[in-house]
């Protein structure tokens, strides 16, 4: 696989050919199918895709959170700190959570334990993994709450999750994730459950924290507009595979995969021209019955016979920088068509 980073230092996190399968009542589905990507230090990668694209499962696989026994990681490597995590025992992988890899989830109300105080939950990593006393942990919790912008932190540290508003709860989750200063923060649709105005605040907060802590971030979302100001690179997933990846601006200006083109065209723009929205034709793929060849073919206006026969490999897009890859037999054509139209 070609290198996908643009900096010279070795990547912090390197995923190769990751495959995750699920057993369901409808059959076995391959939720993540041969996904590869790198994450450099201090870099923000946006992972974009619809429901069912495999973006959240990829994150779960990184953190060792794939729900068992229905889900299994059946192949691939996750290189971190010079080691392939998938060869290590589960307990060792679990220990990396919080200290090296941390995650913020989509719905903070159900992701926070309702019967424990917020301060207890934020301070828990200090107590259980750093041997801090209850008082020390509480101080750290207040500190973190202030850092993420929760007003009156000293008073609210003893409140329960249901006593906070949605945006404040998400800040609590972020504080909790940052407690042990992880190197990689994975945010799985962190703003989807929030109001639009609050979304912007949370995104700004994440950008600040990232810079301050020199963290790498993986931002999972289905909404490109949300990550536009924050992400360095973008990886677009479809049907469990990487459809396209590259620097954000580059992919935005010269999309090499028809799906990416479709995504761009279906984003409502508040400013600028009021064009009609162009939704992507067809419906999301049924993962139990994927067609052979390219999974996007049924919805693609560029499809030809070769698309049904051969699965496209993730390769650099011709005429574009080497860091821009797309899995499409007709990438060059897509780019030309996009730039022209």
Partner 1 sequence: MTAYLIRRIVFALFVLWGAVTIVFLVLRLVPGDPAQLILGSDATAAEIAALRTQMGLDRSLPVQYGHYLGDVVRFDFGNSYRYHRDAMGLVLDRLPATLQLAVVAMVIALVLGIGLGVVAALRVNRFADRVVSVFALLSQSMPSFWIGIVFILVFARQLNWLASGGRGGLDRLILPGLTLALPVIAILIRLTRSGLLDVVHENYIQTARAKGLGERVVIFPHAIRNALIPIVTVAGIEFGKLLGGAVIVETVFSWPGAGRLLIDSISARDYNVVQAAILLIAAGFVAINLIVDVLYGYLDPRIRLGR
Partner 2 sequence: MDRTAVAPATDLLPPPDDVAPKAGKPLGRLRIIGSLVVIGLYVLAAIFGPILLKYDSVATDLGARLKPPGTTLPDGSFAVFGTDQVGQDVLAQMMQGARVSITVGVATLLLAGIIGVAAGLAAGYLGGWLDAVLMRLGDVQLTFPSILLAIFIASILGPSVVNVVIVLSISNWVTFARVTRSQVLSIKERDFVDAARTLGARSWHLVTRTILPSAIAPILVVATVELGHVILAEASLSFLGLGTPASTPSWGVTIANGRDYLSNAWWISTIPGIFLAILVISFGVLGDALRDRFDPRLRSM
Residue numbers of the site for partner 2 (CB under 8 A)?
22-26, 29, 31, 49-57, 60, 67-71, 105-107, 109-111, 114, 188-189, 193
Bridging pattern class, strands 216-221 and 44-48: parallel
* Interface with partner 1: number of residues (CB under 8 A): 33
**Is residue 17 helix, strand or coil?**
strand
Q: Tell me: does residue 323 bind partner 1 (CB under 8 A).
A: no
Q: How far is CA 182 from CA 17, 98, 262, in A?
A: 24, 6, 35
Pick the binder of partner 1 from 2, 74, 94, 282 (CB under 8 A): 94
Nearest to 285 by CA among 58, 57, 53: 53
Measured from the CB atom, the residue of 97 and 199 that comes closer to partner 1 is: 97
Burial class of residue 294 in the structure, from the number of CB atoms within 10 Å of its CB (0-12 exposed, 13-18 middle, 19+ buried): buried
Instruction: For the CB of residue 215, give the shortest distance to partner 2 in the complex, in Å.
Output: 20
Q: Which residues neighbour 61 within 8 Å (Cβ) at sequence distance 6 or greater?
A: 18, 20, 32, 73, 78
Q: Where on the phi/psi map is residue 301: left (φ > 0), alpha (ψ -120 to 50), or beta?
A: alpha
Q: Are 49 and 234 in contact (CB under 8 A)?
A: no
Closest CA relative to residue 223, chosen from 264, 279, 275: 264
Does 54 help bind partner 1 (rule: CB under 8 A)?
no
Query: Of 25, 155, 162, 274, which lies in the binding site for partner 1, with binding defined by CB under 8 A?
Result: 162
26 binds, among partner 2, partner 1, none (CB under 5 to 8 A by kind): partner 2
Closest CA to 328 of 257, 238, 223, 248: 257
| Cβ 222 to partner 1 shortest distance, Å | 19
Q: With CB cut-offs between 5 and 8 Å by kind, which of partner 1, partner 2, none does residue 31 bind?
A: partner 2
Is the N-terminal amide bond of 69 cis, ω within 30° of 0? yes
Task: Provide the token pair at 265.
Answer: 């065209």
User: Measured from the CB atom, is 128 or 249 closer to partner 1?
Assistant: 128
Choice between 109 and 322, CB closer to partner 1:
109
94 contact choice in partner 1, partner 2, none (CB below 5 to 8 Å, kind-dependent): partner 1
Minimum CB distance to partner 2 smaller for 55 or for 171: 55
The interface region with partner 1, picked from 173-181, 213-221, 230-238, 330-338 by CB under 8 A, is 173-181
Residues contributing to the site for partner 1 (CB under 8 A): 63-65, 91, 94-99, 102-103, 105, 107, 110-116, 124-125, 128-129, 160, 162-163, 173, 176-177, 179-180
């Amino acid at each position: 696989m070609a290198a996908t980073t643009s900096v010279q230092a070795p990547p912090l996190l390197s995923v190769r050919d990751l495959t995750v399968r699920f057993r369901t009542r409808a059959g076995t589905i391959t939720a993540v199918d041969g996904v590869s990507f790198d994450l450099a230090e201090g870099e923000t990668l946006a992972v974009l895709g619809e429901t069912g694209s495999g973006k959240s499962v990829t994150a779960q696989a990184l953190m060792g959170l794939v729900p068992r026994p229905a889900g299994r990681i059946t192949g691939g490597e996750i290189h971190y700190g010079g080691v392939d995590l998938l060869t290590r025992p589960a307990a060792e992988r679990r220990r990396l959570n919080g200290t090296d890899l941390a995650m913020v989830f989509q719905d903070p109300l159900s992701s926070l334990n309702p019967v424990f105080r917020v301060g207890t939950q934020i301070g828990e990593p200090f107590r259980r993994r750093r041997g801090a006393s209850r008082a020390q942990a509480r101080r750290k919790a207040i500190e973190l709450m202030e850092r993420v912008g929760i007003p009156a932190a000293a008073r609210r540290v003893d409140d329960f999750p249901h006593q906070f508003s949605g945006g404040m709860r998400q800040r609590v989750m972020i504080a909790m994730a940052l407690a042990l200063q992880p190197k990689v923060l994975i945010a799985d649709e962190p703003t989807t459950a929030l109001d639009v105005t609050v979304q912007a605040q949370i995104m700004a907060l994440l950008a600040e924290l990232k810079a301050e802590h020199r963290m790498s971030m993986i931002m999972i979302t289905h909404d490109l507009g949300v990550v536009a100001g924050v992400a360095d690179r973008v990886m677009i997933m479809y049907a469990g595979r990487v459809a396209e990846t590259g620097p954000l601006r580059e992919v935005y200006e010269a999309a090499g995969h028809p799906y990416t083109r479709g995504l761009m065209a279906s984003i409502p723009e508040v400013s600028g021209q009021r064009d009609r929205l162009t939704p992507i034709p067809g419906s999301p793929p049924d993962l139990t019955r994927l067609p052979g060849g390219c999974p996007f073919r049924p919805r693609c206006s560029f499809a030809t016979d070769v698309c049904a026969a051969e699965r496209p490999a993730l390769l650099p897009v011709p005429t574009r920088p080497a860091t821009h890859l797309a899995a499409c037999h007709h990438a060059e054509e897509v780019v030309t068509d996009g730039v022209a139209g």
